[in-house]
Structure 1
């Protein structure tokens, strides 16, 4: 499967590393420039390529990590994203109970969803501390990644994808109703 990554952060690089190890073709683009990612991409192996944002956006699943202040400009420059599954990763949570009780206002994922109305935006809520995310934990319990979205087929594809990355995907739909 082709996985497009737009934006570089701890979580997106962890996803890229895991996806490459799992045999996925990983296409990484950083709207702020890919030159700083050359060494990291080489260490991840031959399944990883640095590409343009348009090439990354043409993958089957797109993982998006763009600072809130750059969202509109970056998304306006993407090709047609109709029907695409877009994982939005700018959603860290520390405590699930406090998170569920305080969700309000327009999050960066709400902005992404408004800017990509015809895409299937799935929120990925990460509970991994950044330094831990870069460490392989093959012999420990699979880390949980929480996700939420509207499209059932897209969520199922995300769950399967997360399993290939050795994550335990947890759909928040049951918690939020």
Structure 2
């Protein structure tokens, strides 16, 4: 399985570093173009490369790691998803201040899924501060919990395996609607940092 990121900030780089350490190829992309990511991919090593958003989105599993106001633009104009997995790491913040945008009954990942037709969307990594994503998830006391929400059973199994392989302790929070509500800003799982003893 190969991986891509749409967005190449702190969260995307942290996830990419875990994937590369586990031996996976990762294509990172941002809105400014591949040339702006040369230092990043050099630091990550030979399994990391820089590409366009379309090239990153062609991967088997793609991580959406942009700020909430950029979600629509980041997903616009990409090739058909054809069942590939899109992991939504975003938080529904109207701006840099912690103000949640009003989506009605729809969760943020349902909003994302509407803008990526054909993608199997998984919500993950949004409940953790970036420092906890970047750090080694394996600790003497246990592994960092990683909550996720998803509607598709096959995507659930694939994501669970990947998260486990890179060292996290994945926890199924439910569907994009129910689990997404638990995980969104203000929900009981938001910013909950805990370890699971194996």
Output the TM-score relative to the length of structure 2. 0.74
Alignment correspondent of 1:158: 159
**70-79 or 137-146, which moves further after superposition?**
137-146
Tell me by how many angstroms 1:67 deviates.
Answer: 2.5
Alignment correspondent of 2:89: 89
Distance in 2 (alpha carbons) for counterparts of 1:90 and 1:48: 22
**8-17 or 21-30, which moves further after superposition?**
8-17
Tell me by how many angstroms 1:35 deviates.
Answer: 4.3
8 Å CA contact 2:87, 2:124 repeated in 1? yes
Alignment correspondent of 1:100: none
1:149–1:133 distance in 2 versus 1, CA, 3 Å: closer
Aligned residues: 166
Alignment correspondent of 1:18: 18
1:171 counterpart SS class: strand
8 Å CA contact 1:127, 1:144 repeated in 2? no
Distance in 1 (alpha carbons) for counterparts of 2:53 and 2:154: 25
Alignment correspondent of 1:95: none
**123-132 or 48-57, which moves further after superposition?**
123-132
Distance in 2 (alpha carbons) for counterparts of 1:67 and 1:153: 27
Q: Deviations over 1:83-122 (max 9, x none)?
A: 1110000149xxxxxxxxxx96444322211112321011
- Structure holding more helix per residue: 1
Q: Deviations over 1:47-104 (max 9, x none)?
A: 1001111111111101111222222222122111121110000149xxxxxxxxxx96
Cα RMSD between the aligned structures? 2.3
Gaps (5+ residues) in structure 1? 93-102
**103-112 or 128-137, which moves further after superposition?**
103-112
Distance in 2 (alpha carbons) for counterparts of 1:148 and 1:131: 21
Distance in 2 (alpha carbons) for counterparts of 1:36 and 1:171: 36
Tell me by how many angstroms 1:132 deviates.
Answer: 3.6
Tell me by how many angstroms 1:34 deviates.
Answer: 4.0
8 Å CA contact 1:6, 1:57 repeated in 2? yes
Tell me by how many angstroms 1:15 deviates.
Answer: 0.8
